[in-house]
Amino acid sequence: SGGSLYIRPLLFGSGARTGLQPADEYTLLIFVVPAGNYYKGGLQPVTGVVVENYDRAAPQGVGSAKVAGNYAADLLPNIESKKKGFPISLYLDAKTKTLVEEFSTSNFMGITKDGKKYVTPESPAILPSITNKSLMTLAEDEGLEVERREIPIEEVGSFSEVGACGTAVVVTPVNSIVYKDQVIKIQEDSNTIGPWTTKLYERMQGIQFGKEDDKFEWMVKV
């Protein structure tokens, strides 16, 4: 069916405190929910937009942690972006507004024009996605060189492929990104999906659904 069981642990302070201080008691819960195939008709490329009036995470903040507050900062910008017709938003660093950080709920990845490098941003404000980490492992296994470094927004147009990677989608192809008054085109044809994005997505799905050998021993029986 292409479906999966989404498992999410959640830890929250539940002690009887009202002051602004760490809780003295915590509750751990794990909820599971069946999820259908995100792309029922196969991978679907999208157009993204750079968020200019809001910041996702502050320098020296908790952007690299899986905390609810990081998602709260994106709620209003996400609504505004979707009203304008953009299903996905890209955030720049809060300090200089020049460096790519990540999409609303997904890490940024790019493939260089020569098809030899998988590039993803390096920043203490970015959540270290396990999906991105897995894609980097697969990219290296396919012979690509992986670079984790600063990516100026001006460099985005030089990539042959750009994707947003996260748990639910694995990777969403991003064929163009609107920034200020310009459209940064990654693929000339808005319906084209790059070969590396397709390859990495199919390998990830193959391992997840047992169609490909789990050579990295990622799968755990639940």
Point out the residues that are catalytic: 66
Give me 2's structure tokens: 């292409």
Give me 136's structure tokens: 């980097």
- DSSP secondary structure string for all residues of 59-78: TTSSTTS--HHHHHHHHHHH
172 and 183 Cβ atoms separated by less than 8 Å: no
Cα 52 to Cα 76: distance, rounded to the nearest angstrom: 13
147 and 20 Cβ atoms separated by less than 8 Å: no
Please name which of 128, 57, 69 lies closest in space to residue 95, comparing C-alpha atoms: 57
Cα 197 to Cα 110: distance, rounded to the nearest angstrom: 9
Place of tokens 């029986």: 221
Helices 130-141, 195-208: crossing angle, 10 deg rounding: 110
